[in-house]
Structure 1
């Protein structure tokens, strides 16, 4: 019925029919004509597209100091890249972040690989989660491989609604730091390496010892540090590189961003949805 409305009207229902088709059936539910129209709209929008900050309730990203988008895609095994606007990419990433492994592998199916932004490329999406039970080890290894090729690589999680922060920092093929504060009692099990200079400096600003041992710290000290870390990922990312939360229309940009399939997307497809372009 919806496809018939798209073909023959009535005209007042055609736009709504397209949205509902996308929501319940995804791209495969659209006619070849509608798919071509969407692709054409994206091409037109890309002509004036400019960087926009990453936004969403739960944010996951990898940052690499290079403009070698093709090399990152190949190294991470990402396939079928398709050009997208920043608005479309952010809408897709935000939608996927609201699902988790319990909802099926669709949340890991795709990522946005940005154009070069002030010398950096971002890979964003739920698949990039550095502390997820299913993804943590793979992201650790991905950062090692990326840093072996490009010198550095970082992965972040940030819960923008007060759900904590986590990061992985790798240099020259080795992870030098992994740290997480999300309120999970097992956060400490993820810790690797010594505190980064930024962490030490931040503790001094809070009046805390720059080096610490949770086993010997007071409960008040631990609470103060935990609440500071909960919101730290974006600031740390900006301090040691570039944060996708701070990019904007004036950020230097080269190339075009793409949505690409992960191994989960290749095997299982992507979830349906209607998104802004």
Structure 2
């Protein structure tokens, strides 16, 4: 990351919202939080798995970060029903990548809340193996409220919806994200 500067919590949240809705600048900027519960959050549309131009790049980045730090995770949740995605990596290995809009890009095996929900629907395998036109796939697809990326994040690391303007977060860091090659 380059061009790093400090920002307040409120300004960082507003900036990421602006960047997310800017076509030409969507992948340009991230906001970095101070450490919390052993995790440092790097936030911004730069990490959006459903944007196909970013998928492989952020998958490789997550793999590299997990090799360096032990674990790295990436989550995408859309309040506008644009899909759910997550990427869990440990020690340089992708454990699971799921992108609800592109099941054919899934890697690894479902676990945790995803696996429990599949079991509740009687799906022994992976959701990406379902016939997309089947009733079972339709029923499964309707369950995403129970398996949002935020739920997977809470179970796997930290609940990003509970992150707020902590008094110690007077200054977060805004940075220019690396260009995708």
List alignment gaps of at least 5 residues for structure 1.
1-77, 265-277
| 1:163-242 equivalent positions in 2, closer than 5 A | 163-182=82-101, 187-204=102-119, 206-212=120-126, 213-215=129-131, 219-229=134-144, 232-242=148-158
Quote how far apart the aligned CAs of 1:108 are.
1.3
Q: Deviations over 1:43-97 (max 9, x none)?
A: xxxxxxxxxxxxxxxxxxxxxxxxxxxxxxxxxxx01211111111110111111
Instruction: Sort the Cα spacing of 1:252 and 1:237 in 2 relative to 1 into closer, same or farther, 3 A.
Output: farther
Aligned mates of 1:176, 1:170 — CA distance in 2: 5
List alignment gaps of at least 5 residues for structure 2.
none
Name the residue aligned to 1:146: 65
| 1:8-157 equivalent positions in 2, closer than 5 A | 78-99=1-22, 103-104=23-24, 106-157=25-76
Name the residue aligned to 1:36: none
Aligned mates of 1:252, 1:92 — CA distance in 2: 19
Rg comparison, structure with higher value = 1
Q: Deviations over 1:187-245 (max 9, x none)?
A: 122111111232111223x4333434314x88222112212236610000000101321
Name the residue aligned to 1:247: 163
3-state SS of the aligned residue for 2:88? strand
Aligned mates of 1:158, 1:170 — CA distance in 2: 18
What TM-score does the superposition give when structure 2 sets the normalisation length? 0.86
3-state SS of the aligned residue for 2:53? coil
Aligned mates of 2:122, 2:168 — CA distance in 1: 39
What TM-score does the superposition give when structure 1 sets the normalisation length? 0.58
